[in-house]
């Protein structure tokens, strides 16, 4: 593990290859939806205030997904922040569907990914999502097939950059053979805790 001096040398910003620069600390918008990441929040005004305050404090990277709510997180972001300030990067993800509160199912079929990306564009009031991530891997098909849909959306200008989430090292290698992957969003848990 790096010592404190080594961590202090980390840049405070990250730049996507050929893209925007964002602060290292962003805002994950999963929990602005209701209980179980389902439906609207108990207090919509409070959720909107939190989003606005985050941006006031310098957050310029907000991460969401179509499955948060579903659709609630993206709608709240647009309601709170549209028209978006210059330099604010809003990212989204597709690949999970929501049968009910606290319940998550995987669907990374190309036609599903296209559908949810286009819905995200509409909810977020964007013509292009600068960074769009495959939210998970659907083991009923190859990751290459799922990412192929995102590559097509990128060619159409609806996605700027492609990322992946919840992948193994092997899946990441396969993803990189299909698309230029600029972000990996995985959960990490310290050992022994």
Query: Which residues are the active-site residues?
Result: 68
145, containing H or E segment: helix 143-155
77 near 85, Cβ under 8 Å? no
Return the SS3 of 141: coil
CB 178 within 8 A of CB 151: yes
First-last CA distance in the chain: 16
- Residue 182: CB partners within 8 Å, gap ≥ 6? 16, 17, 19, 131, 161, 162, 163
Beta bridge partners, 90, equal: 62
């Amino acid at each position: 593990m790096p010592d404190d001096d080594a961590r202090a040398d980390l840049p405070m910003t990250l730049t996507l290859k050929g893209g925007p620069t964002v602060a290292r600390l962003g805002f994950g918008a999963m929990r602005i939806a209701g209980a179980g990441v389902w439906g609207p929040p108990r207090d919509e005004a409070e959720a909107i205030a939190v989003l606005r305050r985050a941006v006031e404090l310098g957050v310029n990277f907000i991460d969401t997904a179509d499955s948060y709510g579903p659709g609630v997180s993206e709608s709240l972001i647009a309601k709170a922040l549209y028209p978006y300030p210059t330099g604010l990067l809003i990212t989204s993800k597709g690949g999970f569907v929501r049968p009910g509160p606290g319940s998550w199912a995987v669907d990374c079929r190309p036609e599903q990914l296209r559908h949810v990306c286009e819905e995200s564009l509409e909810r977020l009031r964007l013509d292009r999502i600068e960074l769009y991530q495959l939210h998970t891997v659907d083991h009923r098909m190859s990751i290459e097939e799922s990412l192929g849909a995102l590559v097509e959306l990128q060619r159409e200008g609806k996605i700027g950059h492609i990322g992946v989430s919840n992948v193994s090292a092997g899946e990441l290698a396969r993803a990189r053979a299909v698309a230029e992957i600029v972000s990996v969003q995985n959960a990490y848990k310290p050992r022994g805790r």
